[in-house]
Chain A
Amino acid sequence: MSAGIDLDNVCCDFGKFRAVDHVNVNIQPGEFFSFLGPSGCGKTTILRMISGFTEPTEGVIRIGGKDVRGQRPNQRPTALIFQNLALFPLMPIWENIAFGLEVRGVDKAKRRARAEELLALVDLHDSADKMVSQLSGGQKQRVAIARALAVEPAVMLLDEPLSALDLKLRQHMRAELRAIQKRTGVTFIYITHDQGEALAMSDRVGVMSQGRLQQVANPRDIYNNPVNGFVASFVGENNIFTGDVQNAADGMASFATPTGTFRARLPGAAGKLYVRPEHMVLQATAGAENSVAVTLTEVAFEGNFVSVHGVTEGGKDMVAELRNDGSAPIPSAGTQMHMVFEARNAAILPDSATAGA
């Protein structure tokens, strides 16, 4: 039923512009895989190449082990959910869903029955005879999913399907999508520029920048062990220090910056130092190492956490996040404090994957 997908050195050029640059990834059958990246980094282009609307300039795409180059979209076992859904506004809901079956010559009674089944699967009972314009955003979303599922695709391709929804509905649909994926066992390839979405739903995430795949890993590794500065800063907040590596040994190093010298992990090439705000601890006295004296400039209450901004003597802005669980008193702006972090929670990372990497 579900099939794996291999992208093998895939490139895509539009004129002189290279939109997708040597992407290599093997997506497992039944996996929920997300491509995460900023706008214009080539995510949609990858999906369009998998579904057959765009041919790769270089490289091979295999679906279920078979090279699909030259196959038209209507011959591929994929179903694409478009960024704008692209439902057919002139057909009632059930005909929208059954369109793929109509194409396959299934008779009307069976089509109708199957459409009702799928509507039940996506929790949309009694909407079969409505028109698309009568549905809410979230309901349209589900119709689009049902329409794609109707053709029993081996791979579902979803292009930022939740971006048009409001926050509450988006969170609800995340869970829903994940549940539908588990229920059907179909391989899902999901595209988003929302890191929370990618981390929450996916088995694995591929982070992209400027057409290049920066890192492929499970959500936890993406967040905790980013391979480079781009991944670290795209997925979450950071305090970033520029400086020089000294005495590197056993994957640890000293890092000399204008603010001070810090101990940190050095997993690979040298670059900048990244420390997440939630790894910063605020204390009244200086720590033994990795301690920065700051004057607090702003304390922003965000609900479940408190975001504390400070500035060093050298004028560098720093940010720390405190959990709002009463374990530590919330300081007020203007106080002098120290931000302290552990060496294992700080990493020296190169900027981003270099060409051809």
Chain B
Amino acid sequence: MNDLLRRYGKGLTWTFIGLTFFWLIILVVLPDFKLLESSFRPYLPVKEIGGPKDVYTFNNYLQIFGNEVDFNFFGLHFPLAARVKVFVLTIFYSGVVTLITFILAYPLSFYLAKVVSPKSLPTLFLLLFVPLWVSEVLRSFAWYIILTLKGPLNVFLMTIGVISEEIRWIDGYSPVVVTLVYAYVLFMLFPLYNAMQSLDSNQIEAADDLGAPWWRTHWRVILPHCKPGIASGAVMVFMLSAGSLLVPAIINSTTGNWFTQTIQGIMLEGQDWNAGAAFAFMLLLFCTIAVSVAMRVFRVSLSDIAK
């Protein structure tokens, strides 16, 4: 604080701090708070807002129940409300996305941090960054095109003779998962790379010298060291995936609905902002719970992630 004052003088320092607070309070906290508040109020015609019917209620939240359908979860059949089903699948497949990004990013970050010569690092990072120059919309469309029935993937597979008939890739949750993995894998890669890089290479060599095969060195030395990096990457990918509207909307797999699409339907098509807000907060709440449970299971603390 004193540092800032000395460096930028009084006027500039207070302007900085004022603007930051303005951004935080007016643009982030207040709107969210308003949304939270309205999620507890009924959806009423404009005339009745503030009237006798405008009372606090949990009804919006309860709207997630009802309209039971059959839920087939890997062979397990049971009846479940349609929206709850989408909700559960969204959280589950966000977990799947997180797991896949980890499986992809771990070897890659190890390669970048410990194997590759520092000379070729800038080139490799450039290659990783180039896709980021293209907007997420275009990247999602690219996957949509790749996966369509007459798309390049089917054409390629048929040309080399692996399949004899086009496969409907855009079906169920797989295309959404694939595209989300592509969209967010770097959010896993960078924290992992950072963690991996901060590991003293001598520790890897020490394990090697003591006779450890490569997998044990990873399991006992490298992976534990990277845990905070994995945790922060996982939280980011999981939250971004669960909250992504763009990717599932563009892929538009009718049998692979994302909960954000449900919220969008209620808010924009149904014009029911109150119920939409309630659903959005439910998603946020459950994602937070899922993350805290995962952190408990893997014994990571918040302070580890902040590092």
Q: Which residues of A contact B (CB under 8 A)?
A: 51-53, 72-75, 78-80, 82-84, 86-88, 90-91, 99-100, 102-104, 147-148, 150-151
Which positions in B face A, CB cutoff 8 Å?
200, 202-203, 205-213, 216, 220-221, 224-225
Known interface pairs A99-B220, A103-B216. Does A86 touch B202 (Cβ–Cβ under 8 Å)?
Answer: yes
Per the bound structure, the CA–CA distance linking A75 and B207 in Å amounts to 12
CA of A99 to CA of B221, assembled, Å: 10
Cβ–Cβ contact A80 & B209, under 8 A:
yes
Total number of A-B contacts with CB less than 8 angstroms?
Answer: 61
Majority DSSP secondary structure for residues of A touching B: mixed
B218 to chain A, nearest CB (A): 13
Residues of A within 8 A of B211 (CB): 74-75, 100, 103-104, 151
Chain A residue with minimal CB distance to B200? Answer: A86
> Is the Cβ of A99 less than 8 Å from the Cβ of B207?
yes
User: Quick one: closest A residue to B212, CB to CB?
Assistant: A103
In the complex, what residues of B have CB within 8 A of residue A52's CB? 209
A53: which B residues are within 8 A, CB to CB?
A: 205, 208-209
B210 touches A147 (CB 8 A): yes
Say yes or no: B220 contacts A73, CB within 8 Å: no
Closest 4 CB pairs of A and B: A86-B202, A100-B210, A86-B206, A74-B211
Instruction: Determine whether the beta carbon of A82 is less than 8 Å from that of B210.
Output: no
In the assembled complex, which residues on chain B have CB atoms less than 8 Å from the CB atom of A78?
209
Task: Given A74-B213, A88-B221, verify A82-B205 contact (CB < 8 Å).
Answer: yes
Separation of A139 and B210 alpha carbons in the complex (Å): 20
Measured between C-beta atoms, what is the minimum distance from B215 to chain A in Å? 11
A–B complex contacts, Cβ < 8 Å, 6 sampled: A75-B211, A86-B202, A87-B206, A88-B207, A99-B207, A103-B211
- Write out the residue numbers on chain B whose beta carbons fall within 8 Å of the beta carbon of A86: 200, 202-203, 205-206
The majority secondary structure among interface residues of chain B is: helix
A82→B224 CA distance, assembly (Å): 21
CA distance A102 to B212 in the complex (A): 9
Partner of B213, one of A83, A99, A103, A148: A103
Chain A proximity of B133: nearest CB distance (Å): 35
Determine how close the nearest CB of chain A comes to the CB of B181; give it in whole angstroms.
Answer: 29
Contacts A88-B221, A90-B225 given; indicate if A74 touches B206 (C-beta within 8 A): no
- In the complex, residue of chain A having the shortest beta-carbon distance to the beta carbon of B203: A86
Of the candidates B211, B220, B225, the one having the most CB atoms from chain A within 10 angstroms of its own CB is B211
Q: How far is it, in angstroms, between the C-alpha of A84 and the C-alpha of B212 when the chains are bound?
A: 20
Contact yes or no, A79 B209, CB < 8 A: yes
For the complex with contacts A74-B209, A80-B205, A88-B206, 11 further pairs of A-B residues with Cβ separation under 8 Å are: A51-B209, A79-B209, A82-B202, A86-B200, A86-B203, A87-B206, A88-B203, A88-B220, A103-B211, A104-B211, A147-B210
Which residues in A have their C-beta under 8 angstroms from that of B206? 80, 82, 86-88
Contacts of B200 in A (CB 8 A): 84, 86
Q: Are A99 and B209 in contact (CB under 8 A)?
A: no
Residues of A within 8 A of B220 (CB): 88, 91, 99, 102
In the complex, are the beta carbons of B202 and A74 less than 8 A apart? Answer: no
> Is A79's CB under 8 angstroms from B210's CB?
yes
- Which residues of A sit under 8 angstroms from B221, Cβ to Cβ? 88
Docked pose: A150 CA to B220 CA in angstroms = 18
